[in-house]
Structure 1
Amino acid sequence: MDRFWEVSGQKIELIDREYDASQGSPVFTVEGKYTTRGWTEWTQGFQYGSAILQFDATGDESFLNMGRQATVSKMAPHVTHFGVHDHGFNNVSTYGNLLRLMNEGRIPENEWERNFYVITLQASSAVQAKRWTQLPNGGYIYSFNGPHSLFADTIRSLRSLAVGHQLGHAVMGENDKKTSLLERLVQHAKTTADYAVYYGEGRDYYDEWGRTAHESVFNLNDGNYRCPNSQQGFSPFTTWTRGLAWIMTGAAEQLEFLKTIDDSELEPLGGRESVEAFFVKMAKATCDFFIANTPTDGIPYWDTGAPNLYQLGSDVYDRESEPFNTAEPVDSSAAAIGAQGLMRLGRYLGDEKYTAAGLTVMQTLLSDKYLSLDAAHQGLILHSVYHRPNGWDHIPAGQSVPCGESCMWGDYHAREAALYLQRLINDDPYYTFYLQK
């Protein structure tokens, strides 16, 4: 852990010195240098949030100053960005972490600074929740593809709604109609659980416990579900492992958040027993699928149905991952995201199976095999993949699949998981995205 944070700090400083911010937000590395890739601006909060986490873990105030100043000067457009489903990524990682640190007494209490964080998080939560498709029985926050589209990723943006609800906020509509952020949180999660996650109950020929679809498509004329789809995975009927990981961790952390909610608030939404039951089922199914379909060191390949995966043999999940193979790339960012879900679910359920799996992932990510020890390489965790179908990822000379590179979300979530683990090891206050009472 000490080595990890030392390397992490070096990478943050390296990016701060070398990266040309006029390009846009850093997304992934090419030959060890962070570059941008236009789709939506969803990674900037991870860049500055990483500096805030670095301070949290080490106490080095230079990183606090870096993260705080960048949050104030750079993040405002993300607070009122109506075009994305990424508010939980950008704004809770920055404003949210700063407010949490103030609540913990890690940074000095300042009334105006506190109010600044509060109002930005309240605004962000309402903007995110307003991006809503109503269904006959519920609804969902729709992706940047449009109102017909639910992404697996978006369960992680429920962070924004949770914090907004804690801060006493709501969504205000026409004629002053007030909608609960908690209601939208639970309804989006239920739609994700019902349509993005499979439980071996015969929904289609490929239905398997814990399999996930990256995108779920709905008919806006009548609200009916139409089909699974995948934007970044191999197919609608295979599992893109980063989408799987978003649900693993999003579900587990929301289970922890629900413990802070009074029973009376959950009663109109089906009651605590019903709500927690579908969250637990979703979290267990996805975590079980990850464990069953990942090599023994905890680093998955980018998609469980990737077309050339067969070339690695039928025992591909019975041995360690092979990032330099010639068939299909691994995705360390999926591991970095999913590790936290495994550890949180293990603690929530008291089930050592999930805890041990999460610790295995972390042991591998922090090892020489995946930790980027080259002082000139700006990335922290090696061997991530962004968009394999589009061919966006760099393939080094002499290799046939992407490898050796990093991404901003993988690096951030490795830091977040490491901070979570470090606090457990040191018996420090339990790390949560939400504001503890």
Structure 2
Amino acid sequence: MIDLKSAPTLESLSPQLDRFFELAKSKVESIDKEYDDAKGSPVFTVDGKYTTRGWTEWTEGFRYGISILHFDATGDETSLKSGRDRTVANMASHVSHIGVHDHGFNNLSTYGNLRRLMIEGRIPENEWEKNFYELAIKVSGAVQAARWTERQGGGFIHSFNGPHSLFVDTIRSCRILMQAHLLGHSLMGEGDKSISLLERALQHIESTAKYSVFYGEGRDIWDVAGRTTHEAIFNTKDGAYRCPNSQQGYTGFTTWTRGQGWAAVGFPEELELLATMPDEAFEPFGGKAKWEALMLRAATAIADNFIENTPTDGISYWDQGGPNMHKLGDYLNQPADPFNEHEPVDSTASAITAQGLFRLARYLRSKGENDKANRYEQAGLVTAQALFREPYLSTDSNHQGLLLHSIYHHPNGWDNRPDPSKAPYGESSMWGDYHAMELAVYLQRLINGGPYLTFFK
């Protein structure tokens, strides 16, 4: 269990963040100089150098987003140019990509961040450039919303596995639908039917809360409150839910921690958005209170589960039910060990989850629930302190990653093993580096009193 009593102050993290941003500069420059773009999007490192792994092109936006966020944190114009130029040159295919559920990853990390910086006055106002970013977001939101499966009582954005498949990851793609809706856009269907992007986002969020998150209500014998399943399977003939499943976790009946992380941040982000929207926008869909209650229930269940089932330093192993976890001994009452022989750590799960903990804490504090807010904030602080220092912070100038001990697909054996006698360790990933950067910018703004970081504007 995370040792909440060891939580540092927020302000004490400032030197760690400064060091992180300093290291990021050389990492960005190394990748820009050395990576062969002809290979496709960089995904993860092997022996410290970024390489690709064909599955889908879901990480390219993270690469450019890191550069954009580095400018956000430091004002480094070279980083901005790297991210902006490559967004313009290379991201169009991701805007119109009909084959993936990753639009919120790729396009908000790039077009979304650039638009936000312009609105904040961090980059010069340019009407045509802003229109360009907004058009990309509108199209991306509509394309993502068109990837739709009807289920009994609702629907969801289906994963690249096919129309039967709901991935827990996709809750973060709901952000692109929401932002496109705020820009006044909708999906146009057959017969010029206008389909609400807000409604589709809400239905997907409901499907995720209902079928990807567990609440300890006896759904199956592994129904532990706050655990998540990577994939929920549906019968596409009648729309019935069939079973939990997993692609990157151990089984559908264990908790793949990165998947849990996507939900841990996805629900609080949407709660923050709902708080800014008028009540009447939700009247056709059952009222705002319905959706706030649904999202808050899921967010708090997940956050509690993370705190109770993660080692004392807030760093996750790749799956709470990994088959060799028992060989680690009393692992929940000690810091995680990324160099162990049995099961890999996945620091990226913690980087993603930590942001969700901070956002949930802030939301609850706005509702006057200070005790709960303090609990989640303390867990986020413990986790952030571990992430932004060794052995998770990558300080080797020859290593292109920022956040070490990332796991991509352990069941498939895709992750590099520097020492075959140990579990995979020592490597980085684009999603891990991006979410560490996003977390660092989020915290820097809290410390410095800057504009609160949201995906929506």
Matched, 1:57 2:73: yes
Partner of 1:383: 405
Map 1:196-275; keep pairs closer than 5 Å: 196-275=212-291
Offset, 1:122: 0.3
Equivalent pairs, count: 434
Closer/same/farther in 2, CA of residues 2 and 402 from structure 1, 3 Å limit: same
Map 1:20-419; keep pairs closer than 5 Å: 20-313=36-329, 315-350=330-365, 351-397=373-419, 399-419=421-441
The one-letter amino acid of 2:242's match is R
Does the 8 Å CA contact 1:324/1:399 hold for their aligned counterparts?
Answer: no
The one-letter amino acid of 1:130's match is A
Alpha-carbon displacement from aligned partner over 1:263-282 (angstroms, at most 9, x marks no partner): 11111111111110000001
Partner of 1:428: 450
CA separation in 2, counterparts of 1:364 and 1:417? 13
CA separation in 2, counterparts of 1:271 and 1:402? 47
CA separation in 1, counterparts of 2:286 and 2:440? 35
Offset, 1:162: 1.0
The one-letter amino acid of 1:369's match is P
Higher relative contact order (CA 8 A, sep 6+): 2
Offset, 1:398: 5.6
CA separation in 2, counterparts of 1:430 and 1:382? 27
The one-letter amino acid of 1:247's match is A
Does the 8 Å CA contact 2:262/2:353 hold for their aligned counterparts?
Answer: yes
SS of the equivalent of 2:93 reads helix
Offset, 1:179: 1.1
CA separation in 2, counterparts of 1:247 and 1:197? 8
Alpha-carbon displacement from aligned partner over 1:159-207 (angstroms, at most 9, x marks no partner): 1001101100001100011111110111000000000000001111110
CA separation in 2, counterparts of 1:391 and 1:107? 43
Partner of 2:13: none
Offset, 1:136: 3.0
SS of the equivalent of 1:91 reads helix
Does the 8 Å CA contact 2:103/2:141 hold for their aligned counterparts?
Answer: yes
TM-score normalised by L of structure 2: 0.94
Say which is worse superposed, 358-367 or 393-402, in terms of deviation: 393-402
CA separation in 2, counterparts of 1:197 and 1:101? 34
Offset, 1:399: 4.0
Partner of 2:20: 4
The one-letter amino acid of 1:335's match is S
- Counting aligned pairs with the same residue, the percent is 62
SS of the equivalent of 2:244 reads strand
Offset, 1:306: 0.3
CA separation in 2, counterparts of 1:220 and 1:291? 36
CA separation in 1, counterparts of 2:419 and 2:83? 35
CA separation in 2, counterparts of 1:259 and 1:358? 22
Aligned-CA RMSD value? 0.7
CA separation in 2, counterparts of 1:424 and 1:261? 23
SS of the equivalent of 2:141 reads helix
CA separation in 2, counterparts of 1:89 and 1:215? 18
* Moved segments of 4+, more than 2 Å: none
CA separation in 2, counterparts of 1:383 and 1:300? 10
Does the 8 Å CA contact 1:241/1:334 hold for their aligned counterparts?
Answer: yes
SS of the equivalent of 2:276 reads coil
Does the 8 Å CA contact 1:50/1:415 hold for their aligned counterparts?
Answer: yes
Closer/same/farther in 2, CA of residues 241 and 175 from structure 1, 3 Å limit: same
Alpha-carbon displacement from aligned partner over 1:198-245 (angstroms, at most 9, x marks no partner): 000111111011011100000011110000000000011000000000
CA separation in 1, counterparts of 2:442 and 2:333? 28
Does the 8 Å CA contact 2:151/2:234 hold for their aligned counterparts?
Answer: no
CA separation in 2, counterparts of 1:427 and 1:94? 24
